[in-house]
């Protein structure tokens, strides 16, 4: 059998504390800012799509107000316009 003798050179104890490098308040603040950024973008996208839809509806309503008659286009009247003989509709 062998006998082992261990000698300690320094008897001081080193204590290590472990803590959060990123405090919870800062974490919540950063997450909230990022969430606000993405929600803001999605709200803007929805608003732009709504505006596009309304523009398309307005264009369809304006185009629907024209009735093509026998002679020329008549705006916002639901009546046929007969050309007058001898007149030039382009002038």
Question: If we measure between CA atoms, which residue out of 55, 88, 89, 49 comes closest to residue 72?
Answer: 89
Which tens digits make up the pLDDT trace of 33-51? 998 888 887 888 888 999 9
Instruction: Find where tokens 């509709």 sit.
Output: 89
For the beta carbon of residue 29, count every other beta carbon within 10 angstroms: 11
pLDDT: which is higher, 22 or 52: 52
pLDDT band at residue 19, thresholds of 50, 70 and 90? confident
What single-letter DSSP state applies at residue 69?
Answer: -
Q: Rounded CA gap, 16 and 80, in Å?
A: 93
CA distance 28 to 24: 6
């Amino acid at each position: 059998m062998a006998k082992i003798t261990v000698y300690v050179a320094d008897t001081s104890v080193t204590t290590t504390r472990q803590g959060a490098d990123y405090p919870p308040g800062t974490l919540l603040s950063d997450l909230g800012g990022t969430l606000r950024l993405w929600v803001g973008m999605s709200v803007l996208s929805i608003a732009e799509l709504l505006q596009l839809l309304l523009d398309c509806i307005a264009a369809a309503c304006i185009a629907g107000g024209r009735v093509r008659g026998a002679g020329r286009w008549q705006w916002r009247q639901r009546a046929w316009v007969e050309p007058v003989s001898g007149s030039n509709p382009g002038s």
